Amino acid sequence: MDMNYIELLFEGKIKEAESLRISENPSILYKYVFLDGTEEDEKRYTSLRNNSMWFSKGSDVSEWSDYVHLVRKVLKILKSQF
């Protein structure tokens, strides 16, 4: 997805924007974890054991649309649990 999604939203074309978002939304999200033998590895294992996740700051992510999809999924999960 590129800026077309945002442009559609600003133009008030909500249905078109939503269709675009859904069509490009991945069905599976993978999180690869780099293990380098440092003490940071223990934090990574703890996250897995506790079923928790860490997120990068949006400004540190190279592909903004991946970040947007991830945040939406997390918010949806959190909302469904309350």
Residue 49's pLDDT is what?
Answer: 83
Query: What is the per-residue pLDDT across 57-72, written as a single tens digit (0 to 9) for each?
Result: 777 777 777 777 777 8
Residue 82's pLDDT is what?
Answer: 54
CA quadruple 46, 60, 79, 4: dihedral sign: negative
Mean pLDDT on 68-77: 78
Angle at 33 between CA 32 and CA 35, to 5 degrees: 145
State percent of the chain over pLDDT 70.
89
Whether residue 37 is predicted with pLDDT greater than 80 in this model: the reply is yes
